[in-house]
């Protein structure tokens, strides 16, 4: 089978790549586009380490075919910072020590961004349930939740 | 004379079930050599498999550590963490 | 929320140690730039994959690889025939000795497949799809044998035998027949019968736990190159690059200096990455193909073929006086080892009663091989299981006596000067303080509502020291680089930089830590056993102290005074000679600028074998609510106190406590290996192997007790492992109180709780 030609916008930049049919978006991002920030933790959509945002919607890129990205806008962890400036979520994660090994962190950050894009003032419970699809084995989630809610407060402040 | 306790049952085949003895030695290395002379094969077993607690402090490789006449020495299995 | 309770005789004001700077590798980790095991690539790289036994126990009659080799795109195929047939030999490369033959056979089966998922062959091909096709073309003929997985079933005299040459070690008389019981160990004190005879109250319980996986989110991954001149490079995420080098050398019959292992960032280990599975195979495939080979496990492979920890049976009998004083304890531990001997039952035996001053006891441990993956270390290996049994029994005893559970622990607590159950006398421990911290915490007095229960449990872990090397190099501008050989699994590199910065008198931003490969730093024992901040921190501190001594010498030379007239204060050399008031302090930058004329580059390295690691104690209290209709357990509140010695970077110490507690909660409530009747794991994925998610847990409050370890320059004790020891019983005790029924089998899943409620 011949490869498919895909055109998409990734982190604001137009990209083109060739992919075998049946390849996941995660593999295309990591191996064809060199964006290794998104991780494979399980390959079955259960851990959230591969989280990306497609046309504004939070998605497990291991559950999406690369071909399905045709014509779509994809945001990955690599696009979260603007130029050299960290996003408030990234900054708060560092201040709160909300990461230990750091493997789940890209997925958690992308999922948290999707949360705050849709709900700028989440309660602790809303935050926990939104992030229930992102497994972390190191932190017990405490500092992650604190960091996300603190970033949410900062972002609300900035809008005022 | 340092007092040695071999609490772990893996040592008993070497010591015929004895688990406490007084050994004349002023360093751990000399202590192990003395034990090996008394119970052949015990020295190698200690080097490979055991940690040594001297007056409460655990050493995994204690060769040169000095012993005083009142030292309490325990032979315990090496500990592996995760 | 965190409280830090300090002893009044703490050390003088520290400027860096004890603060909470942003970690030096932080920017890379939050932007996705950090490179983990699967993130490396090389030109011409092949994909390596493994063919695995679908049978839990089988003789391998033949392996036919011809069709696989002939498939276009396949560049290498290996089986056991491509590895040396190692003799049985104990070798220490991890933290405790491993049997090299067992390790080698676990990486690649020889003669027999011993668990579903056991590797029997491997291929390297130009793409994932071709590799998969090649695996399907390998024809393996098996003679399927009966299998056994349950630990007591494996101990039974008529159990199917995994190894006909295995005879139980540690029995009084050498057995006549082989057995799946690899070893029995015993720890005794006093007179057990007399102890029980003196008891007013006796409690007996049989407790069981299921096998659970460390559950790191990053699957095992490596990239290996075996060049034509025999020199190898391996990028791998592991808990120890030197361990990887040693095991690859042994398993393949290579020399250590021919293998350079570069540590990738590691996405969780918890002990599960203190061994190798892929690296020797990737090197063998690279040798055959002449190309780099990348191997990454799927999540299913991680579950089916990498070490969980033991499932176990714990039998506890306790005797006590009516005032709560323990008179006797009899503990029997039966632990699964998986396919090869080596469960952590020894450590389980040594820690089972470590928190208690009991005059008479007998602790018996059995190491039992089973047709399941070879167990690997999991955070305080062996201790959580034993603690589950003992702490549950203590809770039952407290109820029977009508005594507060913490008061019962205080009554029998070990303290400085008491002999530990495993032998030596305790010194500089903070156990009593840790008990008091929970006893006096508002959580312990908070009221409970309907269907709610509170559980308390304590835990102990030794922590280890071991060999570490550290180097400190000062740049021409007076900034410093700290080099160690310990992968950073919990934020330790920040602590390394902090300790060096403290000694050098530099702000933390001017001290950058790196984790170096096996060719660039002296030997270091792997990261594990809660040893890095203690042992590697000690090496870092001593290296920094050597630098300071060197800087004083250089300043003395520049000033033409004697060295004893030079002190190092706040990052600068200061002249103490009052007759020379014109001599201004020389800071690191000033001295570095003059390095060439004062002896050359400013650098120091220290190698040591750190002794005197301080043990840690933890006390946890947990509140749960049980839904009587569904059996679902909600953890409402969790507080964990721990004796940490000295929190170098408090946020990462809190993180260790919270993370360990979360793993323990998962172990108690939901996690288990479930096998079907053919011995295949039914839940080899994160959907059905249910680890705690964010919505399962409340905030986890931590209390750090700082009773300094005098052997560490800053008083640090290991902290990473203790926190997983108490939660199993803390949760089980809470659930038992919530429903009024004693729960003795983990996990406490909703069906299990419903069944207990239904049975009345």
What value of ipTM does the predicted structure carry? 0.98
DSSP 8-state assignment for residue C5 = E
Integer Cα distance of C528 and A99 in angstroms: 19
3-state secondary structure (DSSP) of residue C593? helix
Note whether C491 and C268 are within 8 A (CB).
no
Buried b (16+ CB within 10 A) or exposed e, C384-411: bbbbbbbbbbbbbbbbebebebbebbbb
Cβ <8 Å between C20 and A136: no
Phi (first) and psi of residue C529, to 5 degrees? 65, 20
Paired with C700 in beta bridges are C638
Query: What residue ranges define each of the domains in chain B, with the CATH number in brackets?
Result: 3-77 (3.10.20.30)
pLDDT of amino acid C452 = 98
- The residue behind tokens 């919270």 is C658
Integer Cα distance of C732 and C388 in angstroms: 8
Cβ <8 Å between B49 and C90: yes
Q: Is the dihedral of CA C10, C11, C13, C16 positive or negative?
A: negative
End-to-end CA distance of chain B: 37
pLDDT of amino acid C3 = 56
Per-residue pLDDT, averaged over C706-712, amounts to 92
Closest Cα to residue C371, out of C200, C154, C588, C168?
C154
Give the residue from B19, B78, B79 with the most C CB atoms within 10 Å of its CB, the best one to mutate: B79
**How far are the Cα atoms of C230, C380, C511, C712 from residue C704, in angstroms, in the given order?**
50, 19, 27, 17
pLDDT of amino acid C12 = 61
Cβ <8 Å between B82 and C381: yes
Query: What residue ranges define each of the domains in chain A, with the CATH number in brackets?
Result: 4-79 (3.10.20.30), 88-159 (1.10.150.120)
- Residue C520 forms part of a structural domain: yes
Pick from B9, B60, B74: CB nearest C465: B60
Per-residue pLDDT, averaged over C373-393, amounts to 97
**How far are the Cα atoms of A100, B4, C643 from residue A143, in angstroms, in the given order?**
10, 48, 21
**How far are the Cα atoms of C16, C502, C544, C707, C742 from residue C10, in angstroms, in the given order?**
15, 16, 22, 9, 43
Q: Which two tokens stand for residue C671?
A: 């996690």
Note whether C221 and C278 are within 8 A (CB).
yes
Pick from C267, C651, C695: CB nearest A97: C651
pTM (whole model) above 0.80: yes
Residues 6 or more apart from C565 whose CB is under 8 A from it? Answer: C556, C575, C576, C577
Is pLDDT at C13 greater than 60 in this prediction?
yes
Within 10 angstroms of residue C83's Cβ, the number of other Cβ atoms is 19
Which residues in chain C have their CB less than 8 angstroms from residue A143's CB? 651, 654-655, 658
Q: Which two tokens stand for residue C719?
A: 């902290």
Pick from A93, A140, A145: CB nearest C30: A93
Distance from chain centroid for Cα C191: 35
Residues 6 or more apart from A34 whose CB is under 8 A from it? Answer: none
Residues 6 or more apart from C251 whose CB is under 8 A from it? Answer: C83, C84, C86, C100, C103, C104, C107, C276, C280
Cβ <8 Å between B82 and C272: yes
pLDDT of amino acid C64 = 98
Secondary structure element (H or E) that encloses residue C153, with its range: helix C151-155
Nearest residue of C to residue B6, measured between CA atoms = C423
Within 10 angstroms of residue C744's Cβ, the number of other Cβ atoms is 21
CA distance C395 to chain B (A): 27
Per-residue pLDDT, averaged over C531-558, amounts to 96
Higher-pLDDT residue of B54 and B56 is B54
- Residue C490 forms part of a structural domain: yes
Per-residue pLDDT, averaged over C469-473, amounts to 98
Per-residue pLDDT, averaged over C297-317, amounts to 97
DSSP string, A97-152: T--SS-SSHHHHHHHHHHHHHH-SS--HHHHHHHGGGS--SSS-SHHHHHHHHHHH
CA distance B80 to chain C (A): 5
- Residue C578 forms part of a structural domain: yes
Cβ <8 Å between C691 and A132: no
Secondary structure element (H or E) that encloses residue C91, with its range: strand C90-92
Cβ <8 Å between C36 and A103: yes
CA distance C157 to chain B (A): 23
3-state secondary structure (DSSP) of residue C657? helix
Cβ <8 Å between B9 and C184: yes
pLDDT digits over C617-633, tens only? 999 999 999 999 999 99
Residue C395 at interface with chain B, using a CB cutoff of 8 Å: no
CATH of the domain at C473: 3.30.365.10
Cβ <8 Å between C214 and B78: no
pLDDT digits over C118-145, tens only? 999 999 999 999 999 999 999 999 999 9
Cβ <8 Å between C30 and A94: yes
Paired with C472 in beta bridges are C482, C604
- Residue C453 forms part of a structural domain: no
- Residue C598 forms part of a structural domain: yes
Is pLDDT at C751 greater than 60 in this prediction?
yes
Is pLDDT at C94 greater than 70 in this prediction?
no
CA distance B37 to chain C (A): 22
- Residue C135 forms part of a structural domain: no
Pick from A37, A76, A140: CB nearest C659: A140
pLDDT of amino acid B53 = 86
Please give the average pLDDT of every successive group of 10 residues along chain A, which has 160 residues: 93 95 95 97 98 98 97 98 95 97 98 98 98 98 98 93
Per-residue pLDDT, averaged over C80-86, amounts to 96
Note whether C375 and C307 are within 8 A (CB).
yes
CA distance B39 to chain C (A): 17
C95 — pLDDT class (breaks 50, 70, 90): low
pLDDT of amino acid C8 = 34
**What is the total count of domains within chain C?**
1
Pick from B5, B57, B77: CB nearest C346: B77
**How far are the Cα atoms of C70, C285, C537, C558, C642 from residue C50, in angstroms, in the given order?**
17, 11, 39, 63, 43
Secondary structure element (H or E) that encloses residue C469, with its range: strand C466-474
pLDDT of amino acid C702 = 98
Is pLDDT at C342 greater than 90 in this prediction?
yes
- The residue behind tokens 């069981």 is C208
Cβ <8 Å between A132 and C693: yes
Pairing of strands C312-320, C326-338: antiparallel
Host domain of residue C487: 466-610
Orientation of helix A142-159 relative to helix A105-118, angle to 10°: 40
Residue C491 at interface with chain A, using a CB cutoff of 8 Å: yes
Residue C33 at interface with chain A, using a CB cutoff of 8 Å: yes
Per-chain mean pLDDT for chain C = 95
The answer to whether chain A touches chain B by having 3 or more C-beta pairs less than 8 angstroms apart is: no
pLDDT digits over C447-465, tens only? 999 999 999 999 999 888 8
pLDDT of amino acid C379 = 96
Within 10 angstroms of residue A3's Cβ, the number of other Cβ atoms is 13
3-state secondary structure (DSSP) of residue C686? coil
Is pLDDT at C11 greater than 80 in this prediction?
no
Note whether C418 and C425 are within 8 A (CB).
yes
Is pLDDT at C697 greater than 70 in this prediction?
yes
Note whether B10 and B51 are within 8 A (CB).
no
Paired with C460 in beta bridges are C617
Is pLDDT at C7 greater than 50 in this prediction?
no
Q: Where are the alpha helices (DSSP H) in C298-450?
A: 299-305, 345-351, 383-401, 405-411, 431-439, 442-445
C614 — pLDDT class (breaks 50, 70, 90): confident
Higher-pLDDT residue of C556 and B72 is C556
Integer Cα distance of C734 and C670 in angstroms: 15
The answer to whether chain C touches chain A by having 3 or more C-beta pairs less than 8 angstroms apart is: yes
Residue C3 at interface with chain B, using a CB cutoff of 8 Å: no
Q: Where are the alpha helices (DSSP H) in C186-278?
A: 192-197, 241-252
Buried b (16+ CB within 10 A) or exposed e, C202-219: ebebebbbbbbbbbbbbb
Note whether C642 and C434 are within 8 A (CB).
yes
- DSSP E strands in C656-714: the ranges are 700-706
Within 10 angstroms of residue C503's Cβ, the number of other Cβ atoms is 25
- Residue C420 forms part of a structural domain: no
pLDDT of amino acid C6 = 41
Within 10 angstroms of residue A55's Cβ, the number of other Cβ atoms is 12
pLDDT digits over C643-671, tens only? 999 999 999 999 999 999 999 999 999 99
């Amino acid at each position: 089978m011949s490869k498919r030609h895909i055109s998409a916008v990734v982190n604001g930049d137009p990209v083109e790549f060739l992919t075998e049919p049946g390849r996941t978006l995660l593999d295309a991002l990591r191996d064809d586009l060199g964006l290794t920030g998104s991780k494979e933790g399980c390959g079955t959509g259960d851990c959230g380490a591969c989280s990306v945002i497609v046309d504004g919607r939070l998605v497990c890129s291991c559950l999406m075919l690369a071909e399905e990205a045709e014509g779509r806008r994809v945001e990955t962890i690599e696009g979260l910072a603007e130029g050299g400036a960290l996003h408030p979520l990234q900054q708060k994660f560092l201040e709160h020590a909300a990461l230990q090994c750091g493997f789940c962190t890209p997925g958690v950050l992308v999922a948290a961004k999707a949360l705050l894009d849709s709900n700028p003032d989440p309660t602790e419970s809303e935050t926990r349930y939104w992030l229930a699809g992102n497994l972390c084995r190191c932190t017990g989630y405490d500092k992650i939740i604190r960091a996300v809610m603190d970033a949410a407060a900062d972002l609300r402040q900035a809008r005022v | 004379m340092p007092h040695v306790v071999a609490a772990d049952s893996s040592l008993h085949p070497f010591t015929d079930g004895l688990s406490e003895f007084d050994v004349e030695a002023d360093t751990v290395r000399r202590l192990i050599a003395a034990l090996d002379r008394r119970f052949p094969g015990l020295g190698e077993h200690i080097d490979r498999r055991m940690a040594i607690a001297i007056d409460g402090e655990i050493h995994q490789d204690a060769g040169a550590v000095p012993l005083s006449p009142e030292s309490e020495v325990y032979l315990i299995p090496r500990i592996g963490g995760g | 929320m965190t409280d830090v309770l300090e002893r009044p005789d703490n050390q003088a004001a520290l400027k860096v140690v004890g603060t909470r700077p942003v970690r030096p590798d932080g920017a890379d980790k939050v932007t996705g730039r950090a490179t983990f095991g699967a993130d490396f690539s090389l030109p011409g790289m092949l994909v390596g994959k493994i063919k695995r036994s679908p049978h839990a126990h089988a003789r391998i009659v033949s392996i036919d690889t011809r069709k696989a080799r002939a498939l276009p795109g396949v560049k290498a195929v290996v089986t056991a025939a491509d590895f040396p047939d190692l003799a049985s030999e104990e070798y220490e490369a991890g933290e405790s000795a491993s049997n090299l033959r067992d390790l080698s056979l676990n990486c690649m089966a020889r003669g027999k497949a011993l668990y579903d998922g056991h590797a029997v062959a491997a291929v390297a091909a130009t793409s994932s799809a071709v590799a998969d096709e090649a695996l399907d073309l390998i024809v393996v003929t098996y003679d399927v044998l009966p299998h056994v997985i349950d630990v007591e079933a494996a101990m039974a005299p008529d159990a199917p035998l995994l190894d006909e040459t295995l005879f139980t070690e540690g029995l009084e008389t050498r057995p006549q027949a082989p057995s799946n019981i690899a070893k029995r160990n015993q720890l005794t004190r006093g007179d057990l019968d007399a102890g029980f005879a003196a008891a007013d109250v006796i409690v007996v319980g049989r407790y069981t736990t299921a096998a659970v996986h460390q559950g790191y989110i990053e699957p095992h991954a490596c990239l290996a190159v075996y060049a034509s001149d025999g020199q190898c490079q391996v990028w791998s995420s592991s808990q120890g690059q030197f361990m990887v080098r040693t095991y690859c050398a042994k398993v393949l019959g290579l020399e250590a200096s021919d293998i350079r292992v570069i540590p990738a960032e590691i996405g969780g280990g918890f002990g599960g990455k203190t061994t190798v599975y892929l690296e020797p195979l990737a090197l063998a495939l690279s040798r055959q193909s002449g190309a780099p080979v990348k191997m990454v496990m799927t999540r299913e492979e991680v579950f089916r073929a990498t070490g969980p920890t033991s499932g176990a049976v714990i039998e506890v009998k306790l005797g006590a006086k009516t005032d709560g004083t323990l008179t006797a304890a009899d503990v029997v531990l039966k632990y699964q080892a998986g396919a090869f001997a080596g469960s952590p039952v020894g450590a389980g035996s040594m820690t089972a009663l470590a928190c208690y001053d009991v005059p008479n006891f007998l602790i018996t441990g059995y190491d039992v091989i089973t047709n399941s993956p070879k167990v690997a270390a999991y955070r305080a290996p062996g201790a959580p299981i034993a603690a589950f049994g003992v702490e549950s029994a203590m809770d039952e005893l407290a109820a029977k006596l009508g005594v507060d559970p913490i008061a019962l622990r205080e009554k029998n607590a070990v303290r400085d000067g008491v002999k530990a159950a495993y032998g030596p006398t305790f010194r500089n421990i903070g156990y009593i303080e840790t008990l008091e911290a929970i006893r006096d915490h508002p959580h312990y007095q908070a009221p409970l509502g309907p269907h709610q229960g509170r559980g308390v449990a304590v835990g102990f872990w030794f922590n280890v020291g071991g060999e570490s090397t550290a180097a400190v190099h000062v740049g021409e501008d007076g900034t410093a680089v700290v080099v160690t050989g310990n992968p950073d699994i919990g934020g330790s590199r920040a602590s390394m930089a902090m300790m060096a910065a403290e000694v050098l008198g530099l702000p933390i931003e001017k001290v950058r830590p790196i984790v170096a490969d096996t060719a660039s730093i002296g030997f270091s024992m792997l990261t594990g056993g809660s040893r890095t901040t203690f042992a590697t921190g000690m090496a870092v501190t001593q290296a920094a102290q050597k630098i300071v001594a060197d800087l004083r010498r250089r300043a003395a030379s520049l000033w033409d005074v004697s060295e004893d007239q030079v002190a190092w204060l706040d990052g600068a050399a200061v002249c103490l000679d009052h007759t020379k008031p014109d001599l201004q302090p020389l800071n690191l930058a000033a001295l570095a600028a003059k390095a060439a004329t004062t002896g050359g580059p400013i650098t120091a390295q220290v190698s040591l074998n750190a002794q005197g690691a301080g043990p840690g104690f933890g006390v946890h209290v947990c509140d749960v609510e049980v839904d009587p209709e569904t059996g679902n357990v909600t953890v409402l509140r969790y507080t964990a106190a721990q004796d940490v010695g000295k929190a170098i970077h408090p946020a990462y110490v809190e993180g260790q406590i919270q993370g360990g507690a979360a793993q323990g909660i998962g172990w108690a409530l939901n996690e288990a290996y479930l096998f079907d009747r053919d011995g295949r794991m039914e839940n080899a994925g994160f959907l059905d192997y249910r680890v705690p998610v964010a919505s399962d847990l409340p905030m986890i409050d931590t209390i750090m007790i700082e009773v300094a370890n005098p052997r560490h320059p800053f008083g640090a004790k290991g902290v990473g492992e203790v926190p997983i020891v108490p939660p199993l019983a803390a949760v089980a005790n809470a659930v038992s109180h919530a429903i009024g029924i004693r729960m003795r089998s983990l996990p406490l899943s909703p069906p299990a709780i419903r069944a207990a409620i239904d049975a009345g």
